Structure 1
Amino acid sequence: MNLNIVVYSKSACPQCDSAKMLLTSRSLPYEEIRIDDEAERLAFFERCGPSVRQMPQVFINDQRVGGLAGLQAALAQLGR
């Protein structure tokens, strides 16, 4: 099963770096979309939902799995 993974991140974000390293270590390709502008980031959070206030935000096959912990849980569930 092919996974379409998109990581929304920002610069100087340790959790973002950890999520990308996790994907790289498992040879899972991903697209990174960096949102460094605060106004753009706040608008992105609003589109994601009221509880979203941190980066990274990871989407697998167009479904938001959350941040680093959500990514780890999703990969475990997918057996990756």
Structure 2
Amino acid sequence: MTEVTLFTTSTCPYCRNAKALLTSKNIAYKELNVERDMDLRREMIALSGRRTVPQIFIGNHHVGGFDELAKLDRQGELMKLLA
């Protein structure tokens, strides 16, 4: 399965929702908390072009945030990206 990476903060409700969705599908993910790590936050912005969290990547593919992740799941595309 392709690696899933989430850039998050500990207080973000959308981050919690993204993690819950992935967990409910038994999808393992790597979480990178950018809350206190400005270098990591700059890396997230450079990779995604966005400043908000979560920023979700499947392999090198930038999915976007929780809304985009949920939409992929509803459309049946999430598991295809992971294959």
TM-score tier after normalising by the smaller chain length: 0.7 to 0.9
1:29 to 2:28 alignment? yes
Question: Cα deviation per residue 1:21-58 (whole Å; 9 max; x = unaligned)?
Answer: 000011111111111127442x23530354x1210000
Gaps of at least 5 residues in structure 1 are none
TM-score by length of 2: 0.77
TM-score by length of 1: 0.79
For residues 39 and 32 of structure 1, the distance between their equivalents in structure 2, rounded to whole angstroms, comes to 15
For residues 10 and 44 of structure 1, the distance between their equivalents in structure 2, rounded to whole angstroms, comes to 14
> Matched residues, percent identical?
30
- Kindly report structure 1 stretches of 4+ aligned residues shifted beyond 4 Å: none
- The size of the alignment, in residue pairs, is 77
Query: Alignment RMSD, CA only?
Result: 2.0
Per-residue deviation, 1:79? 4.4
Gaps of at least 5 residues in structure 2 are none
For residues 18 and 48 of structure 2, the distance between their equivalents in structure 1, rounded to whole angstroms, comes to 21
Letter in 2 for 1:68: F
